[in-house]
Amino acid sequence: MNKEEIKAILPHREPMLLVEEAYLNEDGSATAYYDVRGDEFFLQGHFPGNPVVPGVILCEMMAQSCAVCLAEEKAAETYYTSLNNVRFRQPVKPGDRVRCHCRITKARKPFYFAEGKVYVGDKLCAQGEFSFMLA
């Protein structure tokens, strides 16, 4: 999916649209990409002279990537309901191409449970379990 196709699924828009390219895999998981340019609002002041993508933004990237798994579900809004076992392993910096791999692990509509991982190249940068609600 390109950015316009992603916008048809996600309610997010710039500057909070954090998925630029996405793929629904044969196993039902999703892989999505975001290129960190360096001029993003969340890098301003985090940290001067040593910009690092905040962990909460990496979590948001995972959640938005996971929405690709639910492309067929039509929802007006999507809300995070929990984050569990989140770990940050490596910093993500300007110039990095972020790859998120997410999958739905369980569903009790309107609630969905998922797990995700964030990579830069082959390096695992973040991972976690989360749930969200479609409204």
Q: How far is CA 80 from CA 70, 93, 95, 102, 111, in A?
A: 14, 25, 28, 15, 10
pLDDT of 35-73, one tens digit each? 999 999 999 999 999 999 999 999 999 999 998 898 888
Report phi then psi at 129, rounded to 5: -110, 145
Q: Tell me, what DSSP letter sits at residue 73?
A: S
Q: What is the mean pLDDT of the chain?
A: 95
pLDDT of 90-113, one tens digit each? 999 999 999 999 999 999 999 999
- Give pTM, 2 decimals: 0.95
CATH code, domain with 108: 3.10.129.10
pLDDT recorded at residue 78: 85
For residue 74, what pLDDT band results from cuts at 50, 70 and 90? low
Burial class (CB within 10 angstroms; exposed 0-12, middle 13-18, buried 19+) of 104: middle
pLDDT recorded at residue 11: 87
Would you please indicate which residues are annotated as catalytic (active-site) residues?
A: 46
For residue 135, what pLDDT band results from cuts at 50, 70 and 90? confident
What is the number of structural domains in the chain?
Answer: 1
State which residues form the domain around 94.
3-134
Q: 15 in the Ramachandran plot: left (φ > 0), alpha (ψ -120 to 50) or beta? A: alpha
Q: Read off the pLDDT of each residue in 27-32 and give the average, rounded to a whole number.
A: 97
* pLDDT over 70 at 75, yes or no: no
